[in-house]
Chains A and B, each alone.
Chain A
């Protein structure tokens, strides 16, 4: 990070390559739209590059980036939910192109994707990005108790798919 802040493009590329998969996957899990998720992850890196000088380099880079990604992905998912006009028949058509849900892992991912946005977001932020409840509450701008209740409801909904994972 220090080298990137000094203008070392190779150092910035190393940061990008290391964190792109996480950013892209987090956006995809929250938004559920491949193209929009790519746009959001791109925008997160563009924003991070523009704000790199202001980043406190004593702090770790990953949590800072994941907060940017999470905020943008949630904003985009909310905007999609407001604007969405093509209904379930469209989701069916898109789902038909997904790989068959034969493996338990794939069924768990599908179950996460089927959660309502408010529960899906807290599940991804907590279990994929590793955020604490307080951090999630700040990103979502909701009380900490709301985060915990959404997390509980989301995990309850995932329970059947999680039990399939158990040895």
Chain B
């Protein structure tokens, strides 16, 4: 064997966490292959029946069990309240370029809207987030976290000790992360196994796209934690910019952005700072994100009484007050919202210019777009 072959084939230093992460996925793929679909369905039904029976017995027989039932509160077919405002078609015939649907908070209600169709009201909400593939919506209202199917059916709900904030559904759909007081909580996408991961602060969490369940969050104002939630192990704990309000990953999960009012930092998945940028003199950063599918950064800055949204230095929208923009799943468009004005679809690429393509009638004021989901499958 040549020296080159010997050195290339030299076993790498052991990396047990990486091997175990890979093994869990490979084992799951192998189990799916090895078990016939009918048997899987039968086993799932049997397990669900046993679980419901056990929960009923425990709930009936013990005081603690009663508490668990109140907390989990599974009511799949509960009636959905109707939004108090008159629903009307969105965009009046306009289409959403790239397709998909929007998750909108308006008048204290979460609704799913499709262009040209009446909004589907879900529930009263403080915050809401789409699931990975947009089939479900997690809604936080006070101390309650509830998941709805996009057709309005309530799927499950749980109640926490204090207000639920910063809900984020993981890209693989398996977990929802959220903050309760100063703790970071996780619950499985089906509402099972709510657990505490540790301390957290701030209103921003960001799941890393990819197979490993890595969450970026502020553990303290000066500690940005990148944690593999499957093991609870920290991958890195870099120091974030002061007063960080924004955390966002690239679509490929290879870059993380952390931004505060004065500094923006781009980090590697290992927490290594790669780029650092200061806010313009006399201005402040009020939002930042990556353009989907790229490593380009979009910045929302406030300076001299005006908000400017720019992609890699090119202004795409400005107004006295702009809401944080929402990207289309394909990254070609963004929804820019100015307070008191209709939300506008703006082309994101230089060749397309800056003229808004269409206004969406999402409501005149107090409207927040929480998500635009999902990429059209090819």
Inter-chain CA distance A41–B22, complex, in Å, is 8
Q: Among the listed B4, B21, B33, B266, which residue makes an inter-chain contact with A42, where contact means beta carbons less than 8 Å apart?
A: B21
| In the complex, per-residue mask of A69-113: 1 if CB is within 8 Å of any chain B CB, else 0 | 000000000011001111001100110010000000100110010
- Set of chain A residues within 8 Å of B27, measured between Cβ atoms: 9, 12-13, 16
In the bound complex, residues from chain A placing their C-beta under 8 Å from that of B21 are 38, 42
Determine if A133 is an interface residue (Cβ-Cβ < 8 Å). Answer: no
B295 touches A162 (CB 8 A): no
Whole-angstrom CA separation of A52 from B212 in the bound complex: 23
Find chain B residues with CB under 8 A from A79 CB.
252
Q: B33's contact among A29, A33, A49, A158, by CB below 8 Å, is which? A: A49
Asked if residues B254 and A36 are in contact (CB atoms below 8 Å), the reply is yes
Closest beta carbon of chain B to A100's beta carbon, Å: 15
Contact A46 B25 (CB under 8 A): yes
Whether A112 touches B269, Cβ cut-off 8 Å, given contacts A16-B23, A42-B25, A165-B3, is: no
Q: Are the CB atoms of B26 and A86 closer together than 8 Å?
A: no
Contact B5 A127 (CB under 8 A): yes
Is the beta-carbon distance between B3 and A86 smaller than 8 angstroms? no
Q: Contacts of A108 on B, CB cut-off 8 Å?
A: 3-4, 7
Are B269 and A35 in contact (CB-based, < 8 A)?
yes
Tell me the bound Cα distance from A43 to B29 in angstroms: 10
Q: Among the listed B10, B19, B29, B268, which residue makes an inter-chain contact with A46, where contact means beta carbons less than 8 Å apart?
A: B29
Q: Is the CB of A42 within 8 A of B268?
A: no
B-side contacts of A48, CB under 8 Å: 26
Rounded to whole Å, the gap between the CB of A22 and the closest CB of chain B is 8
A135 interface residue per 8 A CB criterion:
no
Is B4 touching A158 in the complex (CB atoms < 8 A)?
Answer: yes
Q: Given A16-B23, A46-B29, A49-B33, do A34 and B270 touch, yes or no (CB 8 Å)?
A: yes
Q: Which of B8, B15, B30, B252 contacts A128 (CB 8 A)?
A: B8
Cβ contacts A109-146/B at 8 Å (1 or 0 each): 10010000000000110011010000000000000000
Q: Which of B4, B18, B212, B270 contacts A97 (CB 8 A)?
A: B270
Binds A, one of B77-85, B93-101, B159-167, B272-280: B272-280
A47 to chain B, nearest CB (A): 8
B4:A162 contact, CB within 8 angstroms: yes
Task: Answer yes or no: B211 CB below 8 A from chain A CBs.
Answer: yes
Q: Collect the chain B residues with CB atoms within 8 Å of residue A42's CB.
A: 21-22, 25-26, 211
By a CB distance below 8 angstroms, the chain A residues around B32 are 50
Are A28 and B12 within 8 A (Cβ)?
A: yes
Q: Decide yes or no whether B11 CB sits under 8 A from chain A.
A: yes
A61 at the B interface (CB under 8 A): no
> Is B294 in contact with chain A by the CB < 8 A criterion?
yes
CA distance A93 to B210 in the complex (A): 23
A83 adjacent to B295 (CB under 8 Å):
yes
Q: Which of these, A34, A84, A93, contacts B295 with CB under 8 Å?
A: A84
Residue B253 at the chain A interface, CB threshold 8 Å: yes
CA distance A89 to B4 in the complex (A): 29
Q: How far is the CA of A85 from the CA of B275 in the complex (A)?
A: 11
Say how far B267's CB is from chain A's closest CB, in angstroms: 10
- Residues in A with CB closer than 8 Å to B268 are 90, 93-94
Residue pair B275, A86 in contact (C-beta under 8 Å): yes
Contacts of A63 in B (CB 8 A): none
**Could you tell me the distance between the alpha carbons of A16 and B252 in the complex, rounded to whole angstroms?**
26
Is B2 an interface residue, CB under 8 A from the partner?
Answer: yes
B26 to chain A, nearest CB (A): 4
> Chain A residue with minimal CB distance to B19?
A20
| Residue among B3, B34, B255, B273 making CB contact with A93, cutoff 8 Å | B273
Cα A39 to Cα B254 in complex, Å, equals: 11
Quick one: closest A residue to B26, CB to CB?
A45
A25: Cβ under 8 A from any B Cβ: yes
Query: Which A residues lie within 8 Å of B9 (CB)?
Result: 22, 25, 128
Please, how many angstroms separate the alpha-carbon atoms of A12 and B29 in the complex? 11
Interface residues of B (CB under 8 A from A): 2-5, 7-12, 15, 18-19, 21-23, 25-27, 29-34, 210-212, 252-255, 266, 268-270, 272-275, 293-296
User: 27 A-B residue contacts at CB 8 Å?
Assistant: A12-B26, A12-B27, A12-B30, A17-B19, A17-B23, A24-B22, A28-B12, A35-B212, A35-B253, A35-B254, A35-B270, A39-B212, A42-B25, A46-B26, A50-B29, A53-B33, A80-B254, A86-B266, A86-B295, A89-B274, A105-B7, A105-B10, A108-B4, A109-B8, A127-B5, A155-B4, A165-B3
